[in-house]
Amino acid sequence: MPMTRRDIIIKWTAYLLTLWLVAVVNYYVLGPLPISQPLLLPILAVAGGTLEGASFGAVYGMVCGAVMAGLGHLSPACLISLSAFGWIAGLTTQYALRRDVWGHLICSVAAALLWELWEVGHRLLAHLAPLEVLLRVAAPELLWTLALTLPVYWAGRFCCVNYGRIYHE
């Protein structure tokens, strides 16, 4: 049975509340702690694509990127990259991987590695810091991000399961 406009509004509201919750945890709960800050919003964009499909993942990724940009990251790069992460995760789980936690984990590892490679690479090329210093920051950030990948997936999965799937195979 197709989703009604009301169902879609409720679904988007649930995903936006999840985005708000993940952003608060990422930036206001984990941010002040003496650990490397994980990047949970790219993982949430991947979860949107994994669970709901490529088009939803692209739009949701763009919204995640807008929030991330508003919280102090690179504006255009966040919008474009998180939208691409959601879109590619949706396509990958539709055609190559399963649309489940394993597909999400594989796509999340790829997205987190790409993000960290970009961050290290462009700072290295701009001669902002030596490689060992950049890796000392990027490695713990990557590990924390990957350690929190499953809780972010389960938050997105809660929206998908409890409010109906938008994507129809």
Q: Where are the domains of the chain?
A: 5-161
Whole-number Å distance between alpha carbons of 59 and 85: 11
Q: Are 87 and 62 in contact, with CB atoms under 8 Å apart? A: no
**CA proximity to 38, closest of 94, 110, 91, 116:** 116
Q: Are 28 and 61 in contact, with CB atoms under 8 Å apart? A: no
**CA proximity to 161, closest of 52, 72, 87:** 52
Whole-number Å distance between alpha carbons of 45 and 52: 11
**CA proximity to 108, closest of 23, 165, 46:** 46
Q: State pLDDT tens for residues 6-46.
A: 888 999 999 999 999 999 999 999 988 988 889 999 999 99
pTM for this structure? Answer: 0.91
Place of tokens 């999965």: 157
- Secondary structure in 3-state letters for 19-66: HHHHHHHHHHHCCCCCCCCCCHHHHHHHHHHHHHCHHHHHHHHHHHHH
Q: State pLDDT tens for residues 85-102.
A: 999 999 999 999 988 999
Give the CATH number of domain 5-161.
1.10.1760
Mean pLDDT throughout 156-161?
Answer: 90
**CA proximity to 11, closest of 42, 69, 51, 71:** 51
**CA proximity to 75, closest of 89, 62, 60:** 62
Question: Residue 150: what are its φ and ψ, rounded to 5°?
Answer: -65, -45
What does the pLDDT read at residue 168?
47
Q: What is the mean pLDDT of the chain?
A: 91
**CA proximity to 53, closest of 8, 93, 13:** 93
